[in-house]
Amino acid sequence: MSSTSNTSTHHTSTIGSIGTPSRRNTELALLVFAVVIPVFAYANVGLAINDSVPPGLLSYGLGLGLLAAVGHVVVRKFAPYADPLLLPLATLLNGIGLVVIWRLDQSKRLQASSTFVEAAPRQLLYSALGVALFVVVLVFLKDHRVLQRYTYISMVGALILLLLPLVPGLGLNVFGARIWISIAGFTIQPGEFAKIVLAIFFAGYLMVKRDALALASRRFMGIYLPRGRDLGPIIVVWIISILILVFETDLGTSLLFFGMFVIMLYVATERTSWIVFGMLMSAAGAVGVASFESHVQQRVQA
C-alpha cells in the first residue's frame, strides 16, 4: 500500500508540474507565414503592373515584420497563454490590406488627380499606432476580467460611437455611406472603435447568460431552438444593426455588428442553432433593406 501511495503521489506531482503549453513558438512560426505571404503579394502586384519587383519591397517587408515581432515579444512576455492564432491572423489581414491599398495607389486615374496622396505609407503608420495601443493594453491591463464591470457601459458607449455619424454638422457622407465624422479637419470612422467596445459588452453579457442560452432550449428537426425570452437579446441586436444599415447605409458595419454577436453566442453556448438563426436573419435583413436602398442593393448584388 505504501508503495502504491508513493507512486500515486509521484504521478500527481509530475502531472501538476507539467503545466499548459504556451504555444508561443506556434505563434512565431505562423507569424513568419503571415509576413511572407503579403510580401509575395506586394512583389506580385509590382510584377503585374510594371513587370518588375517594386523598389519598396524590402522596406515593406521589414516594416511589417518589425510590427509582427514587437507584437509577438510583448505577447510572449505579458500574455504567454494567449491564443496563438489571433496575432498571426491580424498580421496577415493587415499585410494584405496594405498591399491592396498600395495597388490602388498605383492607379493611373488616381495619380492623375490633383489631390492624390499615397495612402499606403499613411496606413502603415496607422498599423504602427495600432500595435503601440496593443502593447499598452497588454502591459497595463493585467487581468482582462475587470472589463466585465463595464459590460453595460460598453454597450452605451458603442451605441454612441455608432450614432455619431448621424449628428448634423459632424457626420460625413462618403461614397453613399454615412460612417465618417470630421473634427477640426480630421476624419475618422467611430464605428471602428465601437466594434471593440461591443466585443467587451458581448463577452460580459455572455458570461452571465451563457448557461440559460446553452441549456434552456427545445429541439426541432434536429436543431436546438432557444426559448423565446432568450432570443430577446439577439433580436434587439439584429434590429439595431438593421437600423444602422438603414440610416448610415453601411452594410459592412451592420453585418459585422450582428455577426460578431452571433459568433460569440456560438462560442459561448456551442449551439449550432445560433449560427443558423444568425445567417437567416442577416440575409433577410440585408435583402429586405436592399429592396428600397440603392447603395445597399448594389453591395448585395456585388
Residue 67, pLDDT > 50, answer: yes
pTM of the complete model:
0.74
Other beta carbons within 10 Å of 188:
12
Residue 239 resides in a domain: yes
CB 181 within 8 A of CB 166: no
CB 284 within 8 A of CB 258: no
Q: What is the DSSP string of 16-38?
A: HHH-----HHHHHHHHHHHHHHH
Please give the order of strands across the beta sheet that includes 171-174.
171-174, 177-183, 186-188
Is the domain of 24 the same as that of 93? Answer: yes
Residue 169 resides in a domain: no
CA distance 42 to 56: 9
- Of the listed ranges 46-55, 117-126, 142-151, the one predicted with least confidence: 117-126
Is the domain of 130 the same as that of 30? Answer: yes
Is the domain of 210 the same as that of 290? Answer: yes
pLDDT band at 128 (very low <50, low <70, confident <90, very high): very high
Average pLDDT of the chain is 81
Q: What is the DSSP string of 115-139?
A: T---SHHHHHHHHHHHHHHHHHHHH
Q: What is the mean pLDDT of residues 75-99?
A: 94
List pLDDT tens digits, range 170-207: 888 777 677 888 888 788 888 888 888 888 988 888 88
Residue 162 resides in a domain: no
pLDDT band at 33 (very low <50, low <70, confident <90, very high): very high
CB 106 within 8 A of CB 54: no
CB 68 within 8 A of CB 34: yes
Range of the domain at 234: 195-301
Q: What is the pLDDT of residue 91?
A: 96
Is the domain of 107 the same as that of 22? Answer: yes
Parallel/antiparallel/unpaired status of strands 223-226 and 217-220: antiparallel
Grid coordinates representing 211?
448557461
List pLDDT tens digits, range 221-258: 666 666 667 667 767 777 777 677 677 777 777 777 77
Q: What is the mean pLDDT of residues 283-300?
A: 74
CA distance 159 to 239: 13
Is the domain of 110 the same as that of 224? Answer: no
Last residue of a domain, one of 98, 114, 142: 142
CB 98 within 8 A of CB 127: yes
φ, ψ of residue 126 to 5 degrees: the values are -65, -35
Last residue of a domain, one of 101, 122, 142: 142
Residue 110, pLDDT > 80, answer: no
Is the domain of 51 the same as that of 134? Answer: yes
Residue 149 resides in a domain: no
Other beta carbons within 10 Å of 84:
21
Q: What is the mean pLDDT of residues 115-126?
A: 79
Q: Identify the CA nearest to 191 among candidates 165, 227, 173, 225.
A: 165
pLDDT band at 11 (very low <50, low <70, confident <90, very high): very low
Is the domain of 56 the same as that of 131? Answer: yes
Is the domain of 207 the same as that of 283? Answer: yes
CA distance 193 to 157: 10
Residue 171 resides in a domain: no
Residue 3 resides in a domain: no
Is the domain of 130 the same as that of 224? Answer: no
- Of the listed ranges 54-68, 93-107, 216-230, 256-270, the one predicted with least confidence: 216-230
Is the domain of 115 the same as that of 34? Answer: yes
Is the domain of 277 the same as that of 204? Answer: yes
Q: What is the pLDDT of residue 28?
A: 96
pLDDT band at 302 (very low <50, low <70, confident <90, very high): confident
Q: What is the pLDDT of residue 237?
A: 75
What is the distance between the terminal CA atoms of the chain, rounded to a whole angstrom? 74
Residue 1 resides in a domain: no
Residue 14, pLDDT > 60, answer: no
Residue 131 resides in a domain: yes
DSSP state of 241: H
Q: Identify the CA nearest to 82 among candidates 137, 146, 148, 151.
A: 137
Q: What is the pLDDT of residue 83?
A: 92
Is the domain of 112 the same as that of 21? Answer: yes
Residue 265, pLDDT > 70, answer: yes
Count up the domains in the chain and report the number: 2
pLDDT band at 10 (very low <50, low <70, confident <90, very high): very low
Residue 6, pLDDT > 70, answer: no
CA distance 126 to 122: 6
Last residue of a domain, one of 80, 107, 142: 142
The total number of residues written for the chain in this structure: 302
